[in-house]
Structure 1
Amino acid sequence: MSDASPLADRLNQVLADSYALMALTHSAHWNVEGPGFFALHTAFQAQYEELFTAIDEIAERIRAIGAYAVGGLGNLAEEAGLKEFKAPLSQEAYVAALLEANEKLVNDAAAARDFAGEIHDPESEDLMVGRITLHQKTIWMLKSFLK
């Protein structure tokens, strides 16, 4: 595939975003407090566990198109460029931070999806459609909590 490198760059961005979001979500899971603790603790766990599986799928797709997946915590964090937070935060602050990170991930996944469509790679395009769909649902849920 002649366009594997530009596609791999876009998929690596989604990989890095997903890894960073997983770490942020796991931190929120550990540290959230307050009246919504049980619901948020459970929701954050489901989110970071799903992200862990997705990360492997994205990295394996990058390898399948003949490129290499970005790795290393520092490299992933630098590539993702997501805002990190430190505990303690309010429930609302955790949710707002995760909302912002999910929105960035959706934007980067849309760029990868669109490029995959342009170069006629339906498998990568489909993978990104699935990621976007899941994160749009997560965004809806996080926004609903903040209302």
Structure 2
Amino acid sequence: MKTNIGIKDKDRKAVSDQLARLLADEFVLYTKTRNAHWNIEGPDFHAMHIFFESQYEQLDEVMDSVAERIRKIGHYAPGTLTQLLQLTHLTEKSDSKNDSQGFLKELLEDHESIIEFIRGNINAIADKYNDAGTSDFITGLMETHEGMAWMIRAHFR
């Protein structure tokens, strides 16, 4: 059935494309956070193991909400690793030593990158594509990432 929510088809497609990129970034960040949880070593192992778990649990909810937002505006969410890896702008670093500082630094950079991506889309989605709902939605996601980044940043002096 055709989606008729007061937004032109081409505009819903443009918004869906941006959300698909965001979903891909969320998925990669989730995976990298899971990796940190699984592979953390060092004297702060226990605390960091629990910290990374709380972070990936938040990201799991974020991913689901982004995919559902794509569906709400009438499009399909990318759901294969091939699709997600083609859409993401995040990268994996192979120089990690499995210590908290290395993992935290990389994850913080990714959160900040996602924050910048979202911030760059808020107004365009509302104004250019006439989708105040998605603009509001991603504003909330930006705030979630700001909070998560703050928690990571608090581990540095």
Structure 2 residue identity aligned to 1:104: S
Structure 2 residue identity aligned to 1:24: K
The aligned residue for residue 16 of structure 1 is 24
1:77-116 residue pairs with structure 2 within 5 A? Answer: 77-86=85-94, 88-116=97-125
CA distance in 2 between partners of 1:132 and 1:125 (Å): 10
The aligned residue for residue 66 of structure 1 is 74
SS at match of 1:19: helix
Q: Which has the higher helix share?
A: 1
Structure 2 residue identity aligned to 1:53: E
CA distance in 2 between partners of 1:133 and 1:146 (Å): 20
The aligned residue for residue 150 of structure 2 is 140
Would you say 1:126 and 2:136 are equivalent positions?
A: yes
CA distance in 2 between partners of 1:111 and 1:13 (Å): 13
CA distance in 2 between partners of 1:103 and 1:11 (Å): 17
Aligned residues: 147
1:85 to partner: Cα distance: 3.5
Cα deviation code 1:87-125 (max 9, x no counterpart): 643211100110111111112222332222213322211
TM-score (norm 2): 0.86
Answer with 85-94 or 48-57: which moved more: 85-94
1:41 to partner: Cα distance: 1.2
1:51 to partner: Cα distance: 1.1
Q: Which runs of 5+ in 1 are unaligned?
A: none
| 1:116–1:125 contact (8 Å) kept in structure 2 | yes
CA distance in 1 between partners of 2:98 and 2:91 (Å): 14
SS at match of 2:41: coil
CA distance in 1 between partners of 2:34 and 2:40 (Å): 10
The aligned residue for residue 50 of structure 1 is 58
Whichever of the two has the greater Rg, that structure is: 2
Identity %: 33
Structure 1 residue identity aligned to 2:134: S
The aligned residue for residue 36 of structure 1 is 44
TM-score (norm 1): 0.91
Q: Which runs of 5+ in 2 are unaligned?
A: 1-6
1:24 to partner: Cα distance: 0.3
